[in-house]
Structures are given as C-alpha cells and as structure tokens.
Amino acid sequence: MLAHAFGAKSKRNDQFEWRINEGTITAIPLSGEKIRGFRANVLVLDEFMLLPEDTIKSVLMPFLVAPQDMAERIRIREMEDDLISKGNMKESERIVFGNNSKMIALSSASYSFENLYRTYKEWMNNIYSDEIMQSSYFISQMGFDAIPSDMIDSTVIEEARGGGASSSSFLREYAAQFTDGSDSYFSAKKMHQCTIPDGEKQHTLVKGEKDKEYILAIDPSFSNSPSSDFF
C-alpha cells in the first residue's frame, strides 16, 4: 500500500524516474550527450552561472522546441485543412497557437565576462527594445537587503560581511551585483581567458618556416614497458 501511495520507481544507469500522482519526476545526469531527447514546457536551470554555454544552447534549450500539446495541434490543423478544402473556412481564420514554453534561470551574480552576464545583457536589451518579438522577458535582480529580515539568517550575512560589504565576492553572492574582477592578486578575467573552454582539450600549435621541410616522428613507447621513458 505504501509503495502504491508513493508511486512506482524505475532506475537505470543514466536515469531515475518516479511516477507519482499521475506525474513524473525524472532525474538525469548533467551530461551533454545523455540528456538529449528530453522535452519540457518549463525549463528551470538552477545555478545557471555554472552551466556551460554550449550545453545550455545546444542541449537544454531544445527541450522547449516541441509543444506538449503537439497531438492536439495536429488534430486541429487537419480539421482546418478539411474545412478550407470544402470552402467553409478561410486561411486567415486558422487558430494561432500561443507559445507557452518558459525558461527560468536562477543564479547568483557572476563576473561581467561570463555567460550569465552576457545573457543578462541580452535579455535586458530585448526588454527595452522597440522591436516587436514573440518572446517576452522578465528579470528580477534582488539582493539580500530586498528580502524581509525574518526570511534570512542575519548571522550568515554578518559573517559574509566580514571581508567587507564592498568586496567582490559579497557583491556577487549576496547583493546580486555583477563585478568586473576579483579581490585576489591574480585577475579573475585573465585567469578565465587562460582556462581551457568546456569540451576542449590541451593542444599545442607548432608552426614552421615556409621555406623549410620538416620530419614528424612519433615515439610509440608505452609507459608500462621496462625500457620505456617515464612520463
């Protein structure tokens, strides 16, 4: 009886599914290849700042392409085609289906050179744009001081303020403000520029002179060989 009340569960190596109250809760690994093929009407991306830009645009956003009522839309279109062919309806009288898909991005503020800030600026430009677009945008940038005092632990805020209320990390995490850099000795922006992007690997580009000929040799030695060099 308890199992029936809480629904059936199924578990695979790459997916955990829980059916309850005629709905489904599905847990999947955040891997670009393993999460392809899923569909949703509301896509909630928590910790948006930490998600790779390529994964968001190439894998997650396509979740919203196919509407949930696709079968109903096809049925209506077939009825309209039949009415139009019989002269009982005009093309201009077809139903215009609304776009109900939503993407919700939740995150602390980031550095101004990261994808979250670029997305923030893009959405802000769309909000204040004079162009008529099918999509609508909303941004809520809310720091800790905008929240009722009884809804947050003031001791945590005081502890975080220990490094200074104007510190870069405090402004991003608690004040919802984007910052250009960090308070550390090394520039966070330069460190980011020196970091290998997600999906890429280390590589070395070797260039030679145009009037020279070169021979490329590859050492096939294996590290487990007794006579091998140690790498």
Q: What is the pLDDT of residue 105?
A: 93
Tell me how far the alpha carbon of residue 125 is from its chain's centroid: 20
pLDDT per residue as tens digits for the range 99-117: 788 899 999 999 888 999 9
pLDDT at 107: 94
φ/ψ region of 47 (left if φ > 0, alpha if ψ in -120 to 50, else beta) reads left
Question: What percent of the chain has pLDDT above 70?
Answer: 81
The two three-digit tokens of residue 54, written as one number: 């390529």
Give the mean model confidence (pLDDT) for residues 79-85. Answer: 89
* pLDDT, tens digit, 9 for 90 and up, residues 28-57: 766 656 676 777 778 888 899 988 888 888
Cα–Cα dist 76/73, whole Å: 5
With a CB cutoff of 8 Å and minimum separation 6, the contacts of 138 are 127
pTM of the model: 0.65
**For residues 89 and 78, what is the distance between their CA atoms, to the nearest angstrom?**
12
Sign of CA dihedral 46, 51, 57, 58: negative
* Local confidence band at 231 (pLDDT 50, 70, 90 cut-offs): very low
Q: Give the pLDDT of residue 118.
A: 93
Residue whose token pair is 């001081």: 145
Let me know how long the chain is: 231
Residue 86 has pLDDT above 60, yes or no: yes
